[in-house]
Amino acid sequence: MSPPVSIVIPTQRRLQGLARAARSTFAQQGVDPAGLELVVVDNDAVASAAGVVEALAAEAPFAVRYVHEPAAGVANARNAGVAAARGELIAFLDDDEEASGGWLAALLDVQARHGADVVFGPVRARADWLEVGHRAYFEHFFSRSGPSQSCDLDHYYGCGDSLVRRAALPDRERPFSAVRNQIGGEDDLLFGAMQRAGARFAWAAQAWVWEDPAPERLTLRYTALRAFAYGQGASAHSAAAGDWPGVAGWMAAGVVQALAFAALALAGRLAGSPRFVFALDRAARGLGKTLWQRPFKIRFYGLAGPSPAGPIHPVPLAPPSVRPAAPDAPRPEDGAPPAPAGPADRGRGAPARC
């Protein structure tokens, strides 16, 4: 008998993160392990995660299956996971995330009560903030916040920390577009198409996960590039739908947004205000709305890189040096983040609206 729920974790050369993510699924509460399976998709050409997955399977309370997808690319990895999954409900967890104990139960509860085709949950970033500058901005950028109560949504978010009903997918085995393998946004294309087809989205306020951004991503250069790519989304989606007046509107809005927030960022920087980074983020998103064409696409995924050398051994679960309080606890901020300008700005840091 097929399990009702498949948990899919795509991974590429993040063995420590993979072990943490997988073990967090083993500790889920309020769900029957007999109805679960974990599918780990190794998107490294040399199958570097095979040994880790074998070790994890030995301690798992439910079936763990290893899938090797050597063709690099975020869409390829997600598609391999969907194709291998046996459940009618598919929960996605990234290899830099750690699910809270009630994560899956909360997703399933909201899906059942709201009749949702896709359910999204909150993401809370964590790092050794004592070593990282601009804490408020990075914490905001890599998190996904929303209302305190679960509800229906009129928009969508990214795939990490989500639950998808397989029957609602336009393609039940390869729903993610391979054209987004390197630049990302494959989930935006999918959920956008599902929304146009009448899919129902919902927010599960209690289905929260931690995210541990890689140290090399905790830089203003990286987040500016990602913000630029997020900004490209609205114009690119309008172009894909053949809505050229919409494209022109987004591009014009982007010019105004880029110039206005670039001026604010410069003024804030000169004044020594830590909030200048929020304006810089908005300026980058505005620029992305204007420069959305193919020559300006940035590759974030599927890039060739070194694989772990030597034999693969089980990876111990090592917590980060600083674990913040629960998501509903107040956090120190050096400035309140600005509200998002629109759908194109819905990166990790954009709040949900029900």
| Count: domains in the chain | 1
Query: How does pLDDT run across 290-337, given as a tens digit for each residue?
Result: 999 989 988 876 554 444 433 333 344 343 333 443 343 333 333 333
CB atoms under 10 Å from CB of 173, counted, come to: 12
pLDDT above 80 (res 262): yes
Cα separation of 164 and 6, whole Å? 10
| Exposure b/e, 142-158, CB count within 10 A at least 16 = b | bbbbbeeebbebebbbb
Residue 189 sits in a domain of what CATH number? 3.90.550.10
* Entry field: residues in the chain: 354
Query: How does pLDDT run across 48-72, given as a tens digit for each residue?
Result: 999 999 999 999 999 999 999 999 9
Cα separation of 107 and 175, whole Å? 21
Give burial (CB, 10 Å; 0-12/13-18/19+) of 215.
exposed
pLDDT at 311: 38
Residues above pLDDT 70, as percent of the chain: 84
Cα separation of 339 and 320, whole Å? 30
More confident residue, 278 or 130: 278
pLDDT at 317: 38
Please give the average per-residue pLDDT across 217-226, as a whole number.
94
Domain with 100, as residue range(s), is 1-354
pLDDT above 80 (res 207): yes
pLDDT at 302: 57
Instruction: Please report which residue ranges of the chain form alpha helices under DSSP H.
Output: 15-26, 50-59, 74-84, 103-114, 135-141, 186-196, 220-240, 244-271, 276-290
Are the C-beta atoms of 322 and 126 separated by less than 8 Å?
Answer: yes
Q: pTM for the whole thing?
A: 0.83
DSSP state of 67: E
pLDDT above 50 (res 156): yes
Enumerate long-range contacts of 247-256, CB under 8 Å, 24 or more apart.
247/292, 250/289, 250/292, 250/344, 251/289, 251/290, 251/292, 253/286, 253/289, 253/341, 253/342, 254/285, 254/286, 254/287, 254/288, 254/289, 254/290, 255/286, 255/290, 256/286
pLDDT at 132: 86
pLDDT above 80 (res 114): yes
More confident residue, 147 or 55: 55
More confident residue, 97 or 128: 97
pLDDT at 329: 36
pLDDT at 314: 39
* Look-up of token digits 């309008």: 238
Residues above pLDDT 90, as percent of the chain: 72
Query: How does pLDDT run across 225-244, given as a tens digit for each residue?
Result: 999 999 998 898 889 889 99
Are the C-beta atoms of 325 and 131 separated by less than 8 Å?
Answer: no
